[in-house]
Amino acid sequence: MRKEEVKYIQENYQRTSPKQLKCMKIYNENECNKSDLVPALYKICLDLYECMHKKTEKINLSQLIFSKIGQIIDDFVKELNDITITLIFIMSLFYIFIMSQMK
């Protein structure tokens, strides 16, 4: 790897995605950084270079929030057994029935 590539990776390591790391690995395995590059590898190496230096996508805040909420609900439900879930369902139906009778 060239010095500027090493420096780039060191500066941006926290923001490097798994896909970029895979591209870097393949880039190095194909020895794309050599000056005497085989012409057949030129396009592949260029694509890998662009992949390595691609800006990582920003995570949408709402996706992150709903993902965490879903994870919390999933963790909560995993701890419940079948009887508890059935009891909660029956109580919910009972509550809906009572509320509809109050109108």
SS (H, E, C) the chain: CCHHHHHHHHHHHHHCCHHHHHHHHHHHHCCCCCCCCCHHHHHHHHHHHHHHCCCCCCCCHHHHHHHHHHHHHHHHHHHCCHHHHHHHHHHHHHHHHHHHHCC
Listed range (31-40, 46-55, 57-66) with the worst mean pLDDT:
57-66
**Stretch 54-79: mean pLDDT:** 75
Per-residue model confidence (pLDDT) at position 93: 95
Distances (CA, A) of 47 to 42, 83, 90: 9, 55, 58
Q: Measured between alpha carbons, how far is 38 from 67 in angstroms, rounded to an integer?
A: 45
> pLDDT-based confidence at 54, cuts 50/70/90?
confident
